[in-house]
Structure 1
Amino acid sequence: MKYIFLFLTLLLLSCQNDNPLDFFTQVNKLEKIEGKASYLDSPFLSAGKKLYVVGHQNGRFPDLGWHVEGEMGGVWLHPIKLLDGYHAEIKNNNGQECLTDAKRFFNYPVGSEQVFDLKNMGINVSQFHFVPENENGLIIAYQIENTKQVENKFQFTFNASIDLRPVWLSDSLEIEDGQDEGNWEKRHEIFVAKDNKNNWFTAFGGKGFEPSDSENSCKLKRKGQGFDQALNKTIELKANEVKTIYLVVSGSDKSEKSAINTHQYLSKNAEELLKAKIKTYHTIQENNNLVTRDQGFNQMYRWLKYNSQWLMQEVDGIGTGLTAGSPDYPWWFGTDNGYAVQGLLASGMHEQALQTIDLIAKLSEKANGATGKIMHEASTNGVIFNPGNLNTTPKFISMLWKAYAWTGDEKLLDYYSLVNNAVDWIESKDKDGNDYPDGAGMMEIHGLDSEMIDVVAYQYEMYLAAANFAKVQRDMVLVDEYLVKANKLKIKINADWWVDKFNSYADFRSTKAQALKLTEDAIIRADTIDKPWSVTELKNTLDTLKAQEIEGTAPFVVHHNWIVNTPMEVGAADKEKAEKALKTAENYSNRFGMFVTGIDRDEQQEEASKWKSFSYVGAVMTLPTGVQAIAEAKYGNADRALEYLKMLQNSFSYALPGSMYEVSPDFGMMTQAWNIYAVAVPVVEEFFGIQPKAWKNEILIKPNLPTEWTNVSLENIKIGNNKLDISIKRVNNILEFRISQLHNWKIIFDFSDAKNIIYDGNRIKGGKVELYDRLHNLKVEF
């Protein structure tokens, strides 16, 4: 399916012209999603790769976020902030109105729009935020309509809240935030502000605007070393006339000249910049495009790709990569990208995936040398906050192999030494010689420094990836070694980590004394947040533990964190155990998805302080739900997997239209990177069964479609330099396939339960066939 906004021929005039209709006429042809009135006083994000804007959908810019307290909103050009925010005021004979109470909000792939109805003034205003994809600036377009039958004259004022300040962890670089100062550059018609201790600059202005000394009637209290500056101009509109005016904001952490040059470039080239941005999103939509009969599901899949592009961030001198989430995590995470990059690969965003891999690898080497350890979290100024958790490294290595399989990029083989060093580093964390690394993984359990199931499951996955890398490098000794280790670990996972009484894999392995203490702590916590059913369940668990005779270390299911499902996610679970564990997991979900723990949580809007330490008690998160969908699909339960993805669909566009929060439905990050993993990987790799081998011009396809997907297609599947289209129709017990590809690669279709396959006039018994041509039609009988 093609969308009208992808084929626009834009006629946008220069920002130097007050053209009445062209800009918004074209914008209104773009795909958009309207927000809910009840969420107008919640955040939005408009982003390019270098600059982004975070404010509220109603037009306000309140202090926002907790990572840097109250400073995560505004206009950011990492590694510095330019503005705390901005807003317009309109004043005429009927009074004065601030554009801080929008009646409607629309989100677009390329920007966002707020609509203001100023009835008392006889004016309607639309404010559109547009961040050019690769520039250090922002264009704000205002379409103003005179609803009166007579001329309407008014003063338009643009108020900018300047706050040039550094990003998180800059104090470790001895960077000090100075007082901001500014002056009017009459020759350029812009106001330029500078931090008096650093070469940080912001410039803003528009045609015909001049500095204003008028009092800002909408001024909000805020922090920082900045100040407010207003610019205004007089506007006259004839009866029913519509006019568009533009403001441009630019910045630099290098020089005033750079900020001014960017401002001038954006002012003169808005048309081409918008065309370029639309082309970028056209490509994103077109690659690996999903078409089902469920338009809402298609939209979620499509917009999660757009969300990923919003989170791509390029910082001069550091690199380009996918950040974790907005507004509080606009920096880079090795852990999160171990998941998210797999989603980028499955959804056709290969360039973004490769850029992110390169950046994380460089930051990891900076933090940890050549040890193979992958860093967890780094600020956009290059400072490493956390050099790495135990689960980070093995998940990154398995992702690295996926990248090679999808792209065939030979440069990825340069990471072979990193792969081998990573294996050695993980194995070095086995303190007691039982083959399990000791320490926290994805979920840190307070007071426990023992073995976690996600670390072990991802270690198994890492061995398989390392064996694949070794095979490509013809290092057959290591191939055998890694495969032996993977098989041994798989056996041990099913023997040492399975807890039969709970029909679940354990959260952790520890001594009985540690497990009793953790369970007692969990009871207190559940009672504190008023969860009586959880208290009862945990007390039963405590009684069971007390009655057991346990010596040494043993597996325990206490919190039932989502990580207990990772053995199914990676395919390490025995089928019988997997079926039981997946059934158990159904008890820990609601209509939005899987809980982080087994403790339900109805109050989604608790104070932020309870979330800062990742103690997401009973939170319904997108990553665990995606992991569960992958796990169900991997063990043949496509229908149940689709049910979990529809739970995620309940969260899509819930608070921010076109986006999915980190914590369903409306808490945590309003846009989260790993959401693309949660949806694209089960859809592309499990439902359509795409298992690429781009390095050898080969593709294995093992479809496992949900029952209700009777007519679906995946278009422009990007694998290396090849592209495929797959369309599938189900008629009773027959699947009809049409497959086309750009190049004559080898395609292996594997239908394990098929009776016959009819292809290109041939009929064979069994469920496996190899194809080489560019176009094929198949019928598979079950």
Structure 2
Amino acid sequence: MLKITDLIEEIKNPDERSFLTPGTRMHLIGAQNGGFPAFGHHIENEMGGIWMHPIKILDGFWMGLKVDGRQFEWLKQASIFRNHPFYNEHIYQAHELVITRFQLAPQETPGLIVRYILENKEDYPVLIEGDFVVRSDLRPVWYSETENIIPGKDEAWIDNDCVVVKDSDHNWFARVYAHCPHAIIEIDEQIEGYEQTYGEGVGAKWNFRTTVEPGESYVFTVHIAGSIKSEKETYETINNMKNVEKHFEHKKKHYQGILDRAAIDIPDEELAKQYAWVKCHMEWLTIDVPSVGRGLAAGIPEYPWWFGCDSAYSLAGCVPAGFHKLAEDTLDVVAEASLRKNGNGRIVHEINTFGIVGNPGNTQETSHFIRAVYDTYKWTGNREWLRSHFDEIKNGLRWLLEEMDTDKDLFPEGYGIMEILGLNGELIDTAVYTAVALENAAEMAELFGEEIQARKYKDLGEQLTKKITEEMWLEKEGLYADIRIPGKDLYPRLDDFIHQARLGNDLHLIPYYEGMKEELITNGMAESEDDTAWCFKNWVINTPLEMGLSETGSALQALKRLNGKEFTGEYGMYLSGLEQNRMMTISTAVQVNANLRYHQTDAAYQQIQNVMKTFGMYLPGSISEMSPDYGCFVQAWTSYALLSPIICGFIGIRPNAAVKEVTFEPQLPTNWERARVQKLMIGTNELDVLVERDIKSENGYSVIVHSKETGWTFHGATETCLIN
């Protein structure tokens, strides 16, 4: 198994690209060169700094030095940025000194530890005069102003060698303690580091002086705490963080536990390494706000809050990797916000960390949520938790099939995953996930003794699946359509699409849209009121394949085209086969899982390798949301591309924890002879599964299962035994 200390990524002469010091209660977003440049669009120029959700507490911190009487210089440019899964380091050179800046967010603590180690590399003493500066910026998370949560003025004072900052209108606090005896502390609105900040906070400065002997080091440690309740809480947090080594070892052990769960042994060492990093990303993106809930955020730096559809994709990836409680907690947060905001089964799209809903929900998110709940249950076997969501699930299906299906053809209407202006109607992704949700709900209803409801859901699911495969399949294209919509509704929208293409300088799209207009007129459909399927070549046309709804012949025909150059670029699947200029890990992830559904194993493996090429291109140790290197620098749904495909695809695990059954359907890439997963959690059981090629076996594989619990049934296993 990999050790957490084996995962180290670094870059020399780093620039202003961002990094994260992860923590569930507090995290830091800064620049890899050591600065805190202003950036961000959700809160303009304010997405960086130190966040203790649902508030930001500091814009940043800076150190400047005068070494042996030379001119004062800020530490502006690190020579090395080193990223570890649970902490990071910046290395600076300053004359005789090598300076290591270390930052750690202690586990489950609303605090941050920053430590500067100033090492004298010369054979004579060095006199250091230094300034350490922080800028406060107590402000709420994005969208809070809609509930009239407006920041007041930052007020600061000195208390027991700490600088304390309070928002004048709220019980929001920051406390900063620098372990630096005899330092002179100043507070003033004009105090700042070398970078412009845009918040209306105050500055604090610690001026210190020390001599470092030859070969010795001076350690300058800073503790930062925040609270949305009381000053006392910040005081307690600071005191709790005094033992830095204890917190470091505790967090190291926690992350080692993440690596140990569902640990893989595969022939592809680079994939195994990236798999391990992506598991750590799930912890990076876990945000715990005691007043709201704990859950998996979508992405950092721009989306450090919770989503409906993002969670559905992400949890399908991370539940197999052992994040069972995180999945339940995340879905609980989404469900609670949805009930509070909508109250009719509709699942919300976006929830900030004050619990404020930014979008009441696109149509497909309700069915997507249902699928996520049931998939999580299959891994955990937690029947009580499933039951707690069943009423909401029934309400959600009622909303989809009544309120959102105005023409009663089983195709819910509205916007789906592709939030493209004008592309709303009966969308393929909504239809597919609704069919799956009905199938899942039928099994739930049967489980809870609601036989009539179970038959109803099963019949409706089968009807919708049949309609998708018949009415959304375009034989001429060999693809599924994006949307069903009458010609009379589509025709005017095409002018809007052409206008948008001109505005975006996507002139190559215009002939396609004009061709559709001409086809509508030629076929006499420009005034038609009949629902018709249309293909705009967006990536969601692979969702019938992802969910296994397509007939095999159609699926293989579509996959061949989708895996080709028309739809797939160097780093994965295009968001649009028309535009061919943007890729995301989620479009590629869905294509990976679509290939695995129809045993196109090598094609799935190739798409995984496309994603792998982007590793570290923006942040060492991470994969960006937009391929290859932009958008959020860490994104939760990457787990759907790199975690579940190995466990559920290549190793082929199909759990049903509630009845203590697991089915194995392995499919290894051509150049793999074996794959193993250890400490795989299914319900309360822990498995060690080894898959090897075996020409003597019926399906070409031997599957050896070691189980910690008795009483389980393992379908497809060739050998089973108990773990001692």
CA distance in 1, matches of 2:11, 2:536: 36
Pair 416,271 (structure 1): closer, same or farther in 2 beyond 3 Å: same
* CA offset digits 1:633-663 (Å, max 9, x no partner): 1011011011111111112221111111111
User: 1:166, 1:177 within 8 Å by CA — same for their partners in 2?
Assistant: yes
CA distance in 2, matches of 1:364, 1:530: 38
- Given the alignment, which residue of 364, 389, 395 partners 2:338? 364
The residue number in structure 1 matching 2:173 is 201
State the partner residue of 2:648: 685
Q: Is the 8 A contact 1:320 1:356 kept in 2?
A: yes
State the secondary structure of the residue aligned to 1:45.
Answer: strand
- Aligned twin of 1:123: 97
Contact 1:698 1:745 survives alignment (8 Å): no
Contact 1:507 1:560 in 2 (8 A): yes
Q: CA deviation at 1:309?
A: 0.7
The answer to whether the 8 A contact 2:585-2:641 is kept is yes
Are residue 224 (structure 1) and residue 199 (structure 2) matched? yes
User: Which deviations, in whole Å up to 9, do the C-alpha atoms of 1:514-563 show, x marking residues without a partner?
Assistant: 33334444344445544555444444444444433443334444431111
Question: Percent identity, aligned pairs only?
Answer: 30
Structure 2 residue corresponding to 1:312, chosen from 266, 286, 291: 286
Tell me which residue corresponds to 1:594: 573
Match of 1:577 among 554, 577, 580: 554
Match of 2:372 in 1: 399
Q: Distance in 1 between matches of 2:111 and 2:311?
A: 27
Give 2:661's aligned amino acid: E
- For residues 726-765 of structure 1, give each alpha carbon's deviation from its aligned partner in whole angstroms, at most 9, with x where no partner exists: 1223366753433211112433334xxxxxx9x46xxxxx
Equivalence map 1:550-699=2 (5 Å): 550=525, 551-586=528-563, 587-600=566-579, 618-699=581-662
CA distance in 1, matches of 2:520, 2:607: 32
In structure 2, stretches of 5+ residues that fail to align are none
Give the Cα–Cα distance (whole angstroms) in 2 for the partners of residues 353 and 223 of structure 1.
36
> Which of 135, 141, 144 pairs up with 1:170?
144
| Corresponding residue number in structure 1 for 2:215 | 240
Paired residue type of 1:32: I
Aligned residue identity for 2:166: K
Equivalent position of 1:151 in the other structure: 125
Match of 1:55 among 30, 40, 44: 30
Matched, 1:180 2:158: no
C-alpha contact (below 8 Å) 2:114/2:223 kept by paired residues: yes
Q: The residue matched to 1:273 in structure 2 has which SS?
A: helix
**Does the aligned pair in 1 maintain the 2:156–2:202 contact within 8 Å?**
no
Partner of 2:80: 104
Alignment of 1:765-776 (within 5 A): 773-774=721-722
- AA aligned to 1:285 is L
| C-alpha distance after superposition, 1:680-704 (max 9, x if no partner) | 2222212211111110111111112
Partner of 1:438: 413
Q: Does 1:273 align with 2:247?
A: yes
Candidates 735, 738, 742, aligned match of 2:708: 742
Query: Does the aligned pair in 1 maintain the 2:666–2:701 contact within 8 Å?
Result: no
Q: Distance in 2 between matches of 1:300 and 1:359?
A: 29
Q: 1:379 aligns with which of 352, 359, 364?
A: 352
Measured against aligned partners, the alpha-carbon deviations of 1:273-301 in whole angstroms (never above 9, x if no partner) come to: 22221122111111111221222111111
Distance of aligned partners of 1:522 and 1:174 in 2 relative to their CA distance in 1, 3 Å threshold: closer
CA distance in 1, matches of 2:187, 2:225: 22
Determine if the alignment matches structure 1 residue 467 to structure 2 residue 442.
Answer: yes
Mapped partners of 2:681, 2:515: distance in 1: 51
SS in 2 for 1:82: strand
> Is contact 2:187-2:202 (8 Å) kept?
no
| Distance apart, 1:212 and its partner CA | 4.4
After superposition, residues 84-99 of structure 1 pair within 5 angstroms as 84-92=59-67, 93-99=69-75
Identify the range of structure 1 (109-118 vs 736-745) with the bigger mean alpha-carbon deviation. Answer: 736-745
Instruction: Please state whether the residue corresponding to 1:391 is helix, strand or coil.
Output: helix
Q: Which residue of the partner structure matches residue 163 of structure 2?
A: 191
SS of residue matched to 2:241: helix
Residue 139 of structure 1 is aligned with which of 96, 113, 123? Answer: 113
- Give the gaps of 5 or more residues in structure 1: 6-28, 602-617, 751-756, 761-770, 777-782
Q: Which amino acid aligns with 2:420?
A: I
Out of 707, 712, 715, the residue aligned to residue 675 of structure 2 is 712
Structure 2 residue matching 1:388: 3-state secondary structure: coil
**Residue of structure 2 equivalent to 1:504:** 479
User: 406-415 or 73-82, which moves further after superposition?
Assistant: 406-415
Q: Distance in 1 between matches of 2:52 and 2:655?
A: 37
Residues 414-434 of structure 1: CA deviation (Å, up to 9, x unaligned): 222122111111111101111
What amino acid sits opposite 1:271 in the alignment?
A: E
Q: 1:583 to 1:164 in 2, by over 3 A?
A: same
Which letter does structure 2 place at the counterpart of 1:737?
V
Task: Name 2:49's counterpart in structure 1.
Answer: 74
AA aligned opposite 2:660:
N
Q: Is contact 1:155-1:233 (8 Å) kept?
A: yes
Q: How far apart are the structure 2 equivalents of 1:122 and 1:538?
A: 65
CA contact (8 A) 2:651 2:675 kept: no
CA contact (8 A) 2:101 2:114 kept: yes
Please identify runs of 4+ aligned residues in structure 1 that moved more than 6 A: 213-217
- Per-residue CA deviations over 1:483-528 (Å, capped at 9, x if unaligned) read 1111111110011111222211111111223333344443444455
Q: CA separation in 2, counterparts of 1:623 and 1:697? A: 31
Contact 2:153 2:201 in 1 (8 A): yes
The residue aligned with 1:303 is 277
Contact kept, 8 Å, 1:448 with 1:514, in 2: the verdict is no
Number of aligned residue pairs: give it.
Answer: 711
Conservation of the 8 A alpha-carbon contact between 1:177 and 1:225: no
How far apart are residue 358 of structure 1 and its match? 1.7
Measure, in 1, the Cα distance between the counterparts of 2:209 and 2:421.
61
After superposition, give the CA deviation of every residue in 1:128-172 in whole Å (9 maximum; x if it has no partner): 110012111100011221122211110232110111112223223
Contact 1:30 1:108 in 2 (8 A): no
Taking the aligned partners of 1:473 and 1:365, their CA distance within structure 2 comes to 22
Match in the other structure for 1:64: 39
How far, CA to CA, are the matches of 2:297 and 2:545 in structure 1? 27
The residue type paired with residue 2 of structure 1 is L
Structure 2 counterpart of 1:724: 687
SS in 2 for 1:494: helix
Q: State the TM-score, normalizing by the size of structure 1.
A: 0.87
Amino acid in structure 1 at the alignment position of 2:211: E
Deviations 1:586-615 (Å, cap 9, x if unpaired)? 3212111111112446xxxxxxxxxxxxxx
Which residue identity lines up with residue 96 of structure 1 in the other structure?
A: F
